[in-house]
Amino acid sequence: MIPYKGIGETGFDLYNHAFRDTEAIQDELFKVHLELALSRQLPLVLHVRKAMHKVFAYKQALKKLPQVIFHAYSGTLGEGEALLRQGINGYFSFGTSLVGGRKETIRSCAGLPLNRLLLETDTPYQPLRGCAFSRWQDLPVILQAVSRLRGDFGHSGADTLESLIEANFYQAYGSLRKP
């Protein structure tokens, strides 16, 4: 087991009418999670779909957190860069939407600083094309896609990228060394 601590997954999902109907509840739960993360100085893992404006509304509080991890990042490259410029210690996690060719995800993953990238599968909810569910075993496919996309790893390719992403994980969750 990996010894890390954090609060979340929490955040805002305004993807469709059913989710928008729960916005007030999402707001209240987010405030509770944010206060807990602030009081304990723990990383906060954010789920944000069609609601990046809400994240920016909390930027002053988010800047006070040791780390903010954007799970299945769906924001734009510009939004990610703005969050970092505004002092939020953000990490951006990418998964199968990158492999599926989602253009904004590809731009974000290609443009955000390498030391801010994380990878995930969001098992079982974001399957690769043609699959019913995602699995943790899909991570090498995502890693290869990022390696091809970034193209800045020389002959060592995905092995170097894997080491960098692993180091980002330990930074994002507040541990500077492997267990």
- The Cα-based distances of 11 to 24, 77, 156 in angstroms read 12, 19, 37
- Give the whole-angstrom CA distance, residue 143 versus residue 121: 11
Phi (first) and psi of residue 118, to 5 degrees: -130, 160
Tally the C-alpha atoms within 13 A of residue 157's C-alpha that lie toward its C-beta.
9
pTM for this entry: 0.90
Q: Is 71 helix (H, G, I), strand (E, B) or coil?
A: strand
The pairing of strands 44-49 and 117-119 is unpaired
Instruction: Return the pLDDT at 88.
Output: 98
Q: Which residues touch 153 (CB under 8 Å, ≥6 apart)?
A: 147, 160, 161
CATH number of 7-172: 3.20.20.140
Q: Where are the domains of the chain?
A: 7-172
Instruction: Report mean pLDDT in 10-residue bins for the chain, 179 residues.
Output: 75 95 97 96 96 97 98 96 98 91 93 96 78 84 90 69 92 72
User: Hey, what are 87's tokens?
Assistant: 């002092």
Instruction: State residue 108's pLDDT score.
Output: 97
